[in-house]
């Protein structure tokens, strides 16, 4: 069973993951409105991944005989100054999520909740991938500069991303 402190922290992260999904869905709509369908695709898949993360927390909290508590999800921004600004926001957001996961790991260690620490290690690794993926696009957009042809090439590349759910562990 989770103690109250750990339960509250995990529920906070569950709701943060919902916000992340909402943010990326908003970004997908932003890119779709600009006819940047590849960018929209990348964000839509990112939104799906965040829902998977949400459900991992949801299921884990239940498995530990604790209560899931859903709270209101704040409305995300709907406009950015440019595709580069939107992806810079993604990168910064993923860095924030990494910080939140690290705080959860620290709390699990402090509370001597080894099972929770073990559960959170998947997210520690996942955040390395999340930050790298976002930064990769940020760097390409920086290299592109003001070349509109570059935006088209990056859009085509981002259109190839597909959603691949993580493997389940017996569920």
Q: Where are the domains of the chain?
A: 4-158
Give yes or no for a contact between 98 and 131, defined as CB atoms under 8 angstroms apart.
yes
Q: Which residue has the tokens 């069973």?
A: 1
- pLDDT number for residue 147: 87
| Residue-by-residue pLDDT tens, the chain, 171 positions | 899 999 999 999 999 999 999 999 999 999 999 999 999 999 999 999 999 999 999 999 999 999 999 999 999 999 999 999 999 999 999 999 999 999 999 999 999 999 999 999 999 999 999 999 999 999 999 999 888 799 999 999 999 999 998 876 544
Q: What is the pLDDT of residue 124?
A: 98
Question: Does the predicted model carry a pTM greater than 0.85?
Answer: yes
CATH number of 4-158: 1.20.1260.10
């Amino acid at each position: 069973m989770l103690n109250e402190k750990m339960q509250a922290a995990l529920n906070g992260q569950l709701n943060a993951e919902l916000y992340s999904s909402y943010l990326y869905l908003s970004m997908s709509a932003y890119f779709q409105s600009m006819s940047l369908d590849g960018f929209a695709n990348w964000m839509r898949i990112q939104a799906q991944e965040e829902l998977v993360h949400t459900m991992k927390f949801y299921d884990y909290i239940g498995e530990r005989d604790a209560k899931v508590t859903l709270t209101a999800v704040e409305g995300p921004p709907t406009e950015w100054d440019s595709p580069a600004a939107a992806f810079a926001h993604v990168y910064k957001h993923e860095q924030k999520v990494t910080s939140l996961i690290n705080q959860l790991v620290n709390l699990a260690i402090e509370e001597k909740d080894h099972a929770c620490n073990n559960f959170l290690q998947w997210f520690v690794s996942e955040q390395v991938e999340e930050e790298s993926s976002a930064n990769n696009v940020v760097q390409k957009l920086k290299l592109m500069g003001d070349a509109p042809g570059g935006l088209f090439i990056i859009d085509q590349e981002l259109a190839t991303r597909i959603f691949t759910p993580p493997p389940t562990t017996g569920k």
